[in-house]
Structure 1
């Protein structure tokens, strides 16, 4: 797939900026806080309808404006699509394909596929489990767009169940058991769908990531990725998962009443990363942790390409500065012209002359992009 144009209106610090992509690789150069990452964020939103940097739409709308819009022209084997995402400060967002408003946002997902790799991704190893869950969920949304709907359903039930628990903090346990059972059944049904898809995705991703990791580390280290659902156990059939899920909820019933929150379910899952059978967070240097994250990102690219039958876009947000020259070369050699790549950087020193010659170079300053001719 190839992103031909991107048009940002009142998005972040952009007032009205159109970009035409003229090469497989585009390097966005500029000082910090000029808008380079904002442009990549716009592409990420079109791919996943999520931003890893900001949770609320109103924070994506330019100061003083009520709406923002992202338009893109995307070329795929199946044809050209015009994508539009409209963000509103005070009301719900909307999406359109080829000028037609799409009622279900799920139907907008899967048209543009992209993998983002930023310096924030280094927290995948050393950060908390919520970051790893978000990473896996974002990948799954691209592999199976219906997953966005399933995840939303689960979180909706979770919010309602938590609200019920908070309202009844002081109530006697016996009087609540039958009423809570209604929420339990809904949570188990929705949660099981999430668990099964997460498990399936990790089973597909883990061997690909391990192969990349072996290649980058010179086969001196073995990477293992395991999905550790909060309900535990080895169950993989829907009925078995539901039974284990319900059993653990009943086990934690009193603790949940005392704390006023749901303690069981995929919102508490972990994705375990280990190198040579040692938890990666405790293992070795920052360089080894960066190798792991690089392997994960290359595995994401490969898996999405296998599933959608086209190479996704690659968004590299100021990440080369975080990698040593060896790992930079591993990444740049893998990319070549196989993936359309948008790279942000504060300087061009990380790129050799061949890379620069085959790239479109754009300069970003205060939400405006200048367009020197592509280097040839």
Structure 2
């Protein structure tokens, strides 16, 4: 797939900016806080409808403006598609495909695929389990867009069930709670049904991703370290069968009934899952240097690229947000060699001189200053 053009209007610090991409590699150059990351964030939003920098649409709209727009033209093997996303400070966002508004956001996903790699991705190793769950969920959305709906359904059930558990916890002792427990049993069944759909998909994608990441990690580390990735579901199950997994959920819910009523929150389900990342059988978060952790994240990102390409049949875009400075020369070379001309790549940097001369020669170079993009550096 190929991103041909991007049009930003009142998005972050961009007033009205159009960009045409005319090379497989685009280097976006500029000082910090000029808009380089915002450009990549816009592409990420078109691919996943999520930003790794904020969860609030009002943060994405330019100051004093009611709404912002992102529009793009994407070329796939089956033809050209126009994508558009409108973000509002108040009210729901809207999406359109070939200038037709879509009722379901689900139908927007899967047109553009992209893998983002930024310095924030070190949280994959060092951060809380939620960071790894979010990473896994965003990968799944690109491989199987319907997963966005499945996860949304699960989260809705989780919110409703938590509200009921809080109500039960706050109920005074003399008040009967039989009716509430009957209602809770209904939510238990829905949690088991929706939770099993989430956990089974997560397990399957880790099973496919792990050997690819292990191979990349071996290449980058010179085969001196062995990466092991394990999915650790909150609800343990042995066979990928919907009925059996749901039954495992219900059994654990029964086991944890008293703690849940005392805490007023759900402690059973995929919102408590973990993805264990181990190097030489030692947890990566407590192992070795930042360099080793960066090697792991780089291996994960290269594995994402490869898996998406295998599943959808086309190479996704690669978005590199100021990461070359974070990598030593060996890891830089491994990354650039893996990319070559296989993936359309948008890469931000503060210094274009940090790139190999041959790489720069084949690249389109864009200069960003205060939300303005030019093909020549501005003179100040």
Bin for the TM-score computed over the shorter chain = over 0.9
* Equivalent residues in 2 for 1:116-155, closer than 5 Å: 116-155=116-155
Q: Distance in 2 between matches of 1:307 and 1:259?
A: 42
Displacement of 1:278 after TM fit? Answer: 1.1
SS at match of 1:349: helix
1:220-248 alpha-carbon deviations (Å, 9 max, x no partner): 11111111111124342211211111111
Aligned counterpart, 2:26: 26
1:282-338 alpha-carbon deviations (Å, 9 max, x no partner): 211111111110000000000000011110000000111111111011001111111
Aligned counterpart, 1:165: 165
Answer yes or no: is 1:210 the counterpart of 2:196. no
Q: Distance in 2 between matches of 1:249 and 1:371?
A: 59
Displacement of 1:2 after TM fit? Answer: 0.6
Displacement of 1:174 after TM fit? Answer: 5.9
Aligned counterpart, 1:114: 114
Runs of 4+ deviating beyond 6 Å: none
Q: Structure 2 residue aligned with 1:337, among 319, 334, 341?
A: 341
Q: Structure 1 residue aligned with 2:274, among 261, 270, 274?
A: 270
Answer yes or no: is 1:45 the counterpart of 2:45. yes
Unaligned runs of 5+ in 2: none
SS at match of 2:352: coil
Answer yes or no: is 1:350 the counterpart of 2:354. yes
Of 250-259 and 106-115, more deviation after overlay is shown by 250-259
Q: Distance in 2 between matches of 1:170 and 1:124?
A: 37
Displacement of 1:163 after TM fit? Answer: 1.1
Of 168-177 and 35-44, more deviation after overlay is shown by 168-177
Q: CA RMSD in A?
A: 1.2
Aligned counterpart, 1:80: 80
Q: Structure 2 residue aligned with 1:287, among 287, 291, 297?
A: 291
Displacement of 1:52 after TM fit? Answer: 0.7
Aligned counterpart, 2:320: 316
Name the TM-score, length of structure 1 as normaliser: 0.97
Q: Distance in 2 between matches of 1:39 and 1:257?
A: 46
SS at match of 1:50: coil
Q: Distance in 1 between matches of 2:227 and 2:102?
A: 41
Q: Structure 2 residue aligned with 1:249, among 243, 249, 253?
A: 253
Displacement of 1:170 after TM fit? Answer: 2.8
1:171-221 alpha-carbon deviations (Å, 9 max, x no partner): 359624322101111111111100011011000100100110111111111
Unaligned runs of 5+ in 1: none
Q: Distance in 1 between matches of 2:222 and 2:63?
A: 49
SS at match of 2:354: coil
8 Å Cα contact 2:122-2:297 kept in structure 1: yes
Aligned counterpart, 1:186: 190
Q: Distance in 2 between matches of 1:127 and 1:209?
A: 19
SS at match of 1:103: coil
Q: Distance in 2 between matches of 1:197 and 1:258?
A: 31
Answer yes or no: is 1:239 the counterpart of 2:240. no
Aligned counterpart, 1:94: 94
Q: Distance in 1 between matches of 2:267 and 2:184?
A: 14
Q: Distance in 1 between matches of 2:165 and 2:229?
A: 34
Q: Distance in 2 between matches of 1:139 and 1:200?
A: 12
1:86-143 alpha-carbon deviations (Å, 9 max, x no partner): 1111111111111111111111100000000000001101111000000000000000
